[in-house]
Structure 1
Amino acid sequence: MQQIINFIFKNSYRLLFLLLLGISLTLTIKSHSYHRSEYINTANSVSGAVYQKIDNANEYLSLREKNLRLAEENALLKEILFNKKDTTLPNKNLHIEQFLDFNVRMSKVVKNVFNTRENYLTLNSGSLDSIKTDMGVVNEKGVIGIIEKTSKNYSTVLSVLNTKSRINAKIKNSNHFGSLIWDGKNVGYVQLIDVPRLASLKKGDSIVTGAESEIFPENIPIGKIDKVFIDTKTNYYTINVRLFNDMTSLGYVYIIENKKKKEKLNLEQETIKK
């Protein structure tokens, strides 16, 4: 209290001047319409600029939440896209549930290993989110990998940049298919092997997931043909594929569940036994 009194005493002339200045400005503004309008305009301009700065700061701080909402919306849109069979239904009595073969869930990469021969990712979704082994993982650019293991809250993904990875893929324009592998050399490229020499292909053609995959929907992007080699031992093509994805920089991803996978595999096993 004493410090406040001392401050007022030492600065009494300045405080008195500011008080009188404030009173005179107030009286001037109140008694003259021109000064009043100029004051209001200036105050509005200043307050508007302050509010704009505050709004910009709030918008920046909310980007994380917005990104999360966008990823969730994308998951829903991808689920619709992956389940789309045709633009028209052949029978009015059919229900949309009959065409829903895939579930799509959003997740986020919390760890990304890409500098070994057996690379993997860790996602912040697990068994509590209904994530299971052998579900496909993609993002907006294409294939990422396949769920390898799960815990309650996390799951690991066998990356396409893993020498143990093997995914059914095809040349989009010709429908000839092969197996997508990684030779462990370049993180920007994978290889499509066992493609018959009858296949019509050229540099720049798109490589997508094949219809034989029980994990991914057909036609999910993977990459483009960069180089083509002929395996002298098998007389098949080996194709170097430049990935659409930068596998060293991944954020939100989408986990795909094929709801009819078990039915298909069981039927095929029964057929083989006979």
Structure 2
Amino acid sequence: MQQIINFLIRNKNNILFLLLLSVSLFLTIQSHSYQKSKFISSANFVSGGIYSWTSNINTYFNLEEYNLRLLEENQRLRTRLATYEDSLEIKDFTDTSSYEGSYIFRASEVINNNYAKVDNYLTLKSGSREGIERDMGVVTSKGIVGIVENVSPNYSTVISILNSNSRINAQLKKSNHFGTLVWNGEDPNVVQLIDVPAIAPVTKGDTIITGGRSLIFPKGIPIGDIIDYELDQSESYYTINIGLFNDMTNLGYVYIIENTAQEEIKELQNITKDE
């Protein structure tokens, strides 16, 4: 103990300097948006490299399950293609997407995934060099995952749907009644759909999908099935518990969605607001 005290006394000036430097850097980053963005990008780069190394190990042990998912998805795509071939001439068929609007799907690898906290994030091995930007949706072949928040040249972080700040438009598949998808921080396999009007035809086992009322996710991406539901005290709105199709505790590869019409729609909406 005495040696530690002597060490602190001998190096008190250096320790004080490092302490003051750390405080000044923290205050600079917090008060200046440019420095803050640079710090976030640098942090993403460093943590991304570490996550990438550990992800390679995890991927190796989960290859069998990932391959099974790919086989299932290929089977669905082949079935859909066969249906189109029966109903359309191939020469006239230019868009195999079943979603309204214009979207681009980019594949990426999950190199870090949190699901045990209240506010969970993922890290993807794709960044601005691959065309990834903030506010892009992230999904798998089974359902939605989250929304891109920060991007560096080679990596990006995603706000998981298992995050108390996550708010995603969703609706009943069998009707146009919609609400807001949130998470109460408890079960990573169950999320909640709130503010659904009491007039909506809610039934256990019904499917919940994305509502398409935002510029992030197209309408119709699956989310999960209704487990149970209850009315609020005013008996005006439902709170619905949804069992996720995705296993959010085991994500290997995802798709990042770009809405190519997003900027045009935003510009039009801004013009309308100004008027």
TM-score, normalised to structure 2, is 0.65
The residue number in structure 2 matching 1:8 is none
The residue number in structure 1 matching 2:224 is 223
Unaligned runs of 5+ in 2: 1-59
1:188 aligns to 2:189 (yes or no) = yes
Task: Give the C-alpha shift of residue 100 in structure 1.
Answer: 6.9
The 3 A distance-change label for structure 1 pair 110 and 196 is same
The residue number in structure 1 matching 2:119 is 118
The residue number in structure 2 matching 1:143 is 144
SS at match of 1:133: coil
The 3 A distance-change label for structure 1 pair 222 and 95 is closer
Structure (1 or 2) with the larger CA radius of gyration: 1
The 3 A distance-change label for structure 1 pair 96 and 143 is closer
* Residue identity (%): 51
Query: Over residues 17-64 of structure 1, what are the superposed CA-to-partner deviations in whole Å (9 max), with x where a residue is unaligned?
Result: xxxxxxxxxxxxxxxxxxxxxxxxxxxxxxxxxxxxxxxxxxx9xx79
Task: Give the distance between the partners of 2:132 and 2:94, measured in 1 at CA.
Answer: 26
SS at match of 1:144: strand
8 Å contact 2:198–2:235 — kept in the other structure?
Answer: no
SS at match of 1:219: coil
Query: Over residues 166-219 of structure 1, what are the superposed CA-to-partner deviations in whole Å (9 max), with x where a residue is unaligned?
Result: 001000001211110111111111111111111111000000000212111111
Unaligned runs of 5+ in 1: 1-59
SS at match of 2:272: helix
Count of residues in correspondence between the two structures? 201
The 3 A distance-change label for structure 1 pair 237 and 96 is closer
The residue number in structure 1 matching 2:170 is 169
SS at match of 2:126: coil
Task: Give the distance between the partners of 1:155 and 1:120, measured in 2 at CA.
Answer: 10
Task: Give the distance between the partners of 1:213 and 1:188, measured in 2 at CA.
Answer: 24
Query: Any residues of structure 2 matched to 1:20-169 within 5 Å, and which?
Result: 101-169=102-170
Task: Give the distance between the partners of 1:109 and 1:189, measured in 2 at CA.
Answer: 21
SS at match of 2:147: strand
8 Å contact 1:128–1:153 — kept in the other structure?
Answer: yes
SS at match of 2:263: helix
8 Å contact 2:191–2:243 — kept in the other structure?
Answer: yes
SS at match of 1:131: coil
SS at match of 2:251: coil
Task: Give the distance between the partners of 1:102 and 1:116, measured in 2 at CA.
Answer: 32
The residue number in structure 1 matching 2:273 is 272
Task: Give the C-alpha shift of residue 266 in structure 1.
Answer: 2.0
Bigger relative CO (Cα 8 Å, ≥ 6 apart) = 2
The residue number in structure 2 matching 1:213 is 214
8 Å contact 2:169–2:180 — kept in the other structure?
Answer: yes
Query: Over residues 77-100 of structure 1, what are the superposed CA-to-partner deviations in whole Å (9 max), with x where a residue is unaligned?
Result: 69x99xx9xx769xx7x9769x87
Task: Give the distance between the partners of 2:251 and 2:152, measured in 1 at CA.
Answer: 21
Task: Give the C-alpha shift of residue 265 in structure 1.
Answer: 2.0
Moved segments of 4+, more than 4 Å:
94-97
SS at match of 1:215: coil
